[in-house]
Amino acid sequence: MNAAVFWATIGGFLSGVFIRSFALLSWPFAAFFVLLGIVCALYFYFEHQGRSLIIISVACIALGAGVLRMDLGTRSGDTLLNAYIDKKVTVEGVVSAELDERETGTRVSIRVRSIVVGSTTIPVASGILVIAPPHTDVAYGDVVRASGTLRVPEAFDAGAGRTFNYPQYLAKDGIMYQLVFAQVNSLGMNEGNPVQAAAINVKHAYLTGLGEVLSEPEAGLAGGITVGDKRSIGSELSAEFQKVSLIHMVVLSGYNITVVINTAARLLAWAPRSIQFGGSGLVVIFFILMAGGAASAVRAGAMALLAMYARVSGRMFVAMRALGFIAVIMVLWNPFTLAFDPSFQLSALATVGLVMFTPLCSEYLQWVSERFGLREILASTISTQLVVLPLLLYQNGNFSIVALPANLFALIPVPLAMLASFIAAVCGMIAHVFPIVSIVAIPVAFPAYVLLAYIIHTAQLFASLPFASVSVPAFGIAWMFVAYATLFGGLMHLQKRKRPDIV
């Protein structure tokens, strides 16, 4: 009963948030389900029968709470700023996130404090994504003045009949407007979170170190697999990685952090499990800070720690409860995360795959050697690819026929590539300060170059194969839920047949 109540709470709350994300419901709808839950609970209390009513009661109350949380979190923008849509404006505020530098321009997230109208400064409160020229000279925490055309973000065609809800994707970060064709000037500094500012500075020093000793695209790949650098490998090579389902390697994901955790666990193999887990947690915190303290890094770190806990403790279902609890905490903090944050969705589902499907896959892969971790890599790759596939097909329609062999060949050297990249970056950071050290630093970085080049050429080789991927036409979200119901129904059937002791 306790487990059923727990999952009724988790499922009800997440369902409420999800429903409200797409349907314009408000507090009366939430109140109806809360009252329905209270009626069910009272009936059970006075009649002393129908224990399933407790589950229904909890689920209804949790669903109402989820609807209410999303309704309270809905953002409508600023009335004053709405009057200046499609007009040129000047705003002042603080850079609230690390800059997203691209070939076509620099995206600067600003927490706006005021709008400048003539000689008058009028207070406002909103988030604006400023599209500025490349190499704009501002940084996280700077107080800035930006001038440009104010616009409301619009959904855009994602290809194959799919539409990406860009406004809600930005809204999860508190951004309701865009300022295009903008110029940004710094007015002051040091008003951001000092810990996040220090983390971003360390990340930039790290990337500079990689650039000192590695050429492109190897340096970009090293930055992607170690600290989730958004600039990473460029649009052309990124498309090839996506074509063969290797894009998870070059963005900050649970897989990258899992590699870091596994390395830490091996170094602490002599210690008790509690020390192994605690030490790995400290390593993850450092890694998150190295990645700039981004929310995606926090999510990936939490999911990866859960996967490790399940493997170390062998308590798969306890880990699933922890995953559900963490998911609810994240959604409670920011309800837009559930329906409009692809990184959260993919990391959560990948963790579910690692925790629930990997042990079963390993049982069917006894014929695969355990040398070099081949069986574990293959089992985890199959598990994660299988679980995220319906969501990926729903989002972008790219079905990679060569995903499994591409991942198997490319993932084997990733742990060594990450370690070698870290060593190369440290040497490069020293060489940046003391150029004479370059004589030693470049040869030290050569193993990283070889491993990174191997990964890149592997992706390019599989992407060049005929019919490496096919495009699946757009389909409704109902079909995605049917696919997941079938997938997890099959898992439960196999678990009962193979391990009847697990319930």
Q: Say whether 385 sits in a helix, a strand or coil.
A: helix
Please say if the pLDDT value at position 431 is more than 70.
yes
Per-residue pLDDT tens for 223-250? 888 887 766 677 788 888 888 888 777 7
**pLDDT, average across residues 262-277:** 71
Q: What percent of the chain has pLDDT over 90?
A: 15
- Residues 6+ positions from 135 with CB-CB distance below 8 Å: 101, 106
Q: Say whether 148 sits in a helix, a strand or coil.
A: strand
Per-residue pLDDT tens for 178-212? 999 888 888 877 777 887 788 788 888 888 999 89
Please say if the pLDDT value at position 367 is more than 90.
no
Per-residue pLDDT tens for 389-411? 888 888 888 888 888 888 888 87
Per-residue pLDDT tens for 80-115? 888 888 889 899 999 988 888 877 788 999 999 888
Q: What percent of the chain has pLDDT over 70?
A: 88
Measured distance CA(233)–CA(241) in Å, rounded: 10
More confident residue, 364 or 81: 81
H or E stretch including 150?
strand 143-151
Q: What's the distance, CA 224 to chain centroid?
A: 13
More confident residue, 2 or 58: 58
CA–CA distances in Å: residue 371 to residues 81, 262, 311, 374, 376: 61, 16, 18, 6, 10
| pLDDT given for residue 503 in this prediction | 38
Do residues 408 and 377 make contact, with C-beta atoms less than 8 angstroms apart? yes
Which single residue is written with the structure tokens 């999860």? 172
Contacts of range 274-283, beta carbons closer than 8 Å, 24 or more positions apart: 276/312, 277/305, 277/308, 277/309, 277/312, 280/305, 280/308, 281/305
| pLDDT given for residue 122 in this prediction | 85
Per-residue pLDDT tens for 130-143? 999 988 888 888 99
Per-residue pLDDT tens for 460-481? 999 888 888 888 888 888 888 9
Do residues 53 and 40 make contact, with C-beta atoms less than 8 angstroms apart? yes
- For residue 217, whether the previous peptide bond is cis, meaning omega lies within 30 degrees of 0, is yes
Please say if the pLDDT value at position 500 is more than 60.
no
In this structure, how many other beta carbons lie within 10 angstroms of the beta carbon of residue 254?
27
| pLDDT given for residue 251 in this prediction | 67
More confident residue, 232 or 458: 458
| pLDDT given for residue 68 in this prediction | 92
| pLDDT given for residue 2 in this prediction | 77
| pLDDT given for residue 195 in this prediction | 78
Q: How confident is the model at residue 121 (pLDDT cuts 50, 70, 90)?
A: confident
Beta strands in 436-488 (DSSP E): 469-471
